[in-house]
Amino acid sequence: MKNMDTIAVLDFGGQYAHLIANRVRRLGVFTEIHSPNAPVSELEGVKGIIYSGGPSSVYAADAPEYNPEILSLPVPKLGICYGHQLLAFQQGGKVQPGKVKEYGIADLKVLEPADPIFDGVPQASPMWMSHGDSVSELPAGYKIIASTDDCPIAAVACPEKRLYGFQFHPEVTHSRFGMKVLENFVKFCGCEKSWNMKSYLPLITSRIREQVGNRKVFLLVSGGVDSTVAFVLLNRVLGPQKVLGLHIDNGMMRLNESQKIVDFLKAEGMDNLKVCDASEKFLEKLRGVTAPETKRGIIGREFLVVKDDEMAKLHLDPNEWMMAQGTIYPDTIESGGTKNADKIKTHHNRVQEVLDLMEKGLVLEPLADLYKDEVRALGEELGIPHHLVWRHPFPGPGLGVRLLCSEGKIGEEIVPAENVRDFSGKSLAEYLQENQIDGRILPIRSVGVQGDGRTYAQPFLLSTPGLSWKRCEKFSTELANRFKAINRVVYQIGTVGGEEKLVEQYATRKNFDTLRLFDNICTEFLQENDLYEKIWQMPVVLLPLRVQEKPCIVMRPVNSSEAMTANFAEIEPALLGELWRRFESAGAGSLWYDVTHKPPGTIEWE
């Protein structure tokens, strides 16, 4: 942005690359994402450069291309994880697979407390590690300034070149003093803090007007925070006569969701919103489908089909109208939207048909550079009422990604419990015995993210009664780090008793009604106990598992701000007893509590 100090982030495809940008923006400094192969001229005028993490190995044949001349730019540089390894490797250091792959919290021991990068940081600081490779030999001029028990070269500095390298991830919420470290780097770069939503609004206004020109805008309004803010923004910038909103009820909404959306927006004076009930069409397309990626693709394409049908009914000339979406950046990065990114999952607004329209310049995404916390801040700046801006996030496919489907048969991809072993060969049974806990690996899979890459592995059910949240967190982290077959851990809140049975489960109205019932019980529970705004989001998941023919439900309470990382939220155990009694009365077989942070588990299960 002109006349504003800027930090450049080189995107090597890590799931945290844009999280770094978000964190620096939150410190009040504008941040732009660039290809690591960008010409030096593109980075002219930046005050500092951050090399992001990434899923590759620096010595791999398919490692991302990068422009080595960027290193010669006379500004401070910070390498994080892969970026740290690349900077060392580029200058003659050595990188090799670590003896221990670290995924989780590690105690960082600061060896050079006087270094400006560690100003105000304790000499023992919990930081988040997520890596397999490590720097094993430093280039000339480098010095070690911090280490962990398993990573002797956890942070380095090269004073002559004003260069730092971190093996840990300061941008991740779990790194307790990560923001302080990033703030120190921003200060080291000499940046003025002048970035906020108030300064961004004029820029985004001019961009919208320039992109739209003389056309009108047709926006798909799901009713979530993002599409609501996008709808209000477009109405303010272009005027309601140039904007038309369409809410499509796809049969996968929460209880009475569509009516609430209409009531919310009309109360704000936005009568240019139409509602279409296309639930039968969506459910018919999803008949018999079980694969999560296939489901997402179908839902995304059907939105476009219904949109085209509605435009035809309204006699809207496609040449005069653009399609708009409330897409935010996590949607694109998790869909592999940058050149080097590993695909975690395809978002419904990133199916191929949408990408084709984008190539033709027919899609407007006014929020695509923002994260959830920035969207909320923009909503506040626009004067949108508090209750709209702070609604829990809800995915475009709705409950479609919270109802896990199955043919009822255990496939070859499911690892039997007796075959689950860690990197040392220790069995899962031995681990449980050593730690005196009970539990079992479940015969289903969910999406996760580890080491900047996608996982699709099995959840583990922790069933020992009376465990504290701290103990749950410990076992969740250890199980996901040590056992490749596990990427998520759930804790048993209540059960009618008996072994879980895998059953056939498809995307039918009956199953969605079941999920709507339990989802609504959870929402009312949060509101009654003054927890709704204290917990950032709580997806409720219907699993294809039954106990005594009754459904197994997972609650997934998380705290986050930008959706790229999250901690599972801790609800008072005494309250959960009452929640289980409500679930049992409503016909649930088991209630499980997801105690997995992101990473390694994504917020949604699909």
Q: Which residue has the higher pLDDT, 308 or 494?
A: 494
- According to the model, what pLDDT value does residue 220 have? 86
At how many degrees (to 10) do helices 573-585 and 509-528 cross?
A: 150
Question: How confident is the model over 363-387, as a mean pLDDT?
Answer: 87
**151 in the same domain as 247:** no
- According to the model, what pLDDT value does residue 347 have? 47
CATH number at residue 534: 3.30.300.10
**339 in the same domain as 461:** no
In terms of residue numbers, what domain contains 452? 417-594
Final residue in a domain of this structure, among 373, 391, 409: 391
280 is a catalytic site residue: no
CATH number at residue 320: 3.40.50.620
d(CA 82, CA 61): 15
169 is a catalytic site residue: yes
Question: How confident is the model over 399-416, as a mean pLDDT?
Answer: 95
**455 in the same domain as 519:** yes
Residue 606 lies in a domain: no
Asked whether the predicted pLDDT for residue 196 surpasses 70, the reply is yes
Question: How confident is the model over 317-329, as a mean pLDDT?
Answer: 84
Asked whether the predicted pLDDT for residue 116 surpasses 90, the reply is yes
Percentage of the chain lying above the pLDDT 90 cut:
65
- According to the model, what pLDDT value does residue 337 have? 47
CA 570 and chain centroid, separation: 19
Per-residue confidence band for 103, with pLDDT thresholds at 50, 70 and 90: low
Before 122, cis peptide (omega within 30)? no
* Residue matched to tokens 């941008």: 171
Per-residue confidence band for 357, with pLDDT thresholds at 50, 70 and 90: low
Does 585 carry a binding-site annotation? Answer: no
Asked whether the predicted pLDDT for residue 409 surpasses 60, the reply is yes
Residue 496 lies in a domain: yes
**Lowest mean per-residue pLDDT among 101-105, 296-300, 444-448, 522-526:** 101-105
**96: helix, coil or strand?**
strand
- According to the model, what pLDDT value does residue 345 have? 46
Catalytic residue among 81, 151, 158, 552: 81
Question: How confident is the model over 399-421, as a mean pLDDT?
Answer: 95
**558 in the same domain as 454:** yes
Q: Any idea how long the chain is?
A: 606
Residue 77 lies in a domain: yes
Question: How confident is the model over 80-103, as a mean pLDDT?
Answer: 84
Asked whether the predicted pLDDT for residue 261 surpasses 90, the reply is no
**Lowest mean per-residue pLDDT among 116-120, 191-195, 349-353, 417-421:** 349-353
Average pLDDT value over all residues in the chain: 89
Does 223 carry a binding-site annotation? Answer: yes
Total domains present in the chain: 3
Q: Is 376 exposed, middle or buried (0-12, 13-18, 19+ CB in 10 A)?
A: buried
Does 148 carry a binding-site annotation? Answer: no
- According to the model, what pLDDT value does residue 240 have? 92
pLDDT digits (tens, 9 = 90+) for 508-560: 999 999 999 999 999 999 999 999 999 999 999 999 999 999 999 999 999 98
**590 in the same domain as 458:** yes
**382 in the same domain as 325:** yes
Per-residue confidence band for 603, with pLDDT thresholds at 50, 70 and 90: very high
CA dihedral over 194, 196, 201, 204, signed as positive or negative = positive
Asked whether the predicted pLDDT for residue 92 surpasses 50, the reply is yes
Residue 379 lies in a domain: yes
Q: What are phi and psi of 124, to 5 degrees?
A: -125, 110
CATH number at residue 34: 3.40.50.880
Residue 604 lies in a domain: no
- According to the model, what pLDDT value does residue 567 have? 92
Asked whether the predicted pLDDT for residue 269 surpasses 80, the reply is no
Residue 408 lies in a domain: no
Tokens of 433: 């015995």
pLDDT digits (tens, 9 = 90+) for 156-166: 999 999 999 99
Does 227 carry a binding-site annotation? Answer: yes
**171 in the same domain as 231:** no
Per-residue confidence band for 336, with pLDDT thresholds at 50, 70 and 90: very low
151 is a catalytic site residue: no
- According to the model, what pLDDT value does residue 433 have? 97
* Residue burial 500-525, b: 16+ Cβ < 10 Å; e: rest: bebeebbbbeebbebbbbbbbbbbeb
- According to the model, what pLDDT value does residue 14 have? 66
Residue 85 lies in a domain: yes
Q: Is 196 exposed, middle or buried (0-12, 13-18, 19+ CB in 10 A)?
A: middle
Residue 605 lies in a domain: no
**575 in the same domain as 432:** yes
Final residue in a domain of this structure, among 172, 189, 206: 189
Does 228 carry a binding-site annotation? Answer: yes
Final residue in a domain of this structure, among 164, 189, 214: 189
**128 in the same domain as 220:** no
Question: How confident is the model over 360-387, as a mean pLDDT?
Answer: 86
Strand partners, 144: 156
**201 in the same domain as 185:** no
Catalytic residue among 102, 171, 257, 365: 171
**438 in the same domain as 349:** no
**431 in the same domain as 359:** no
Are the CB atoms for 174 and 110 separated by under 8 Å?
Answer: no
Asked whether the predicted pLDDT for residue 76 surpasses 80, the reply is yes
Catalytic residue among 84, 131, 169, 597: 169
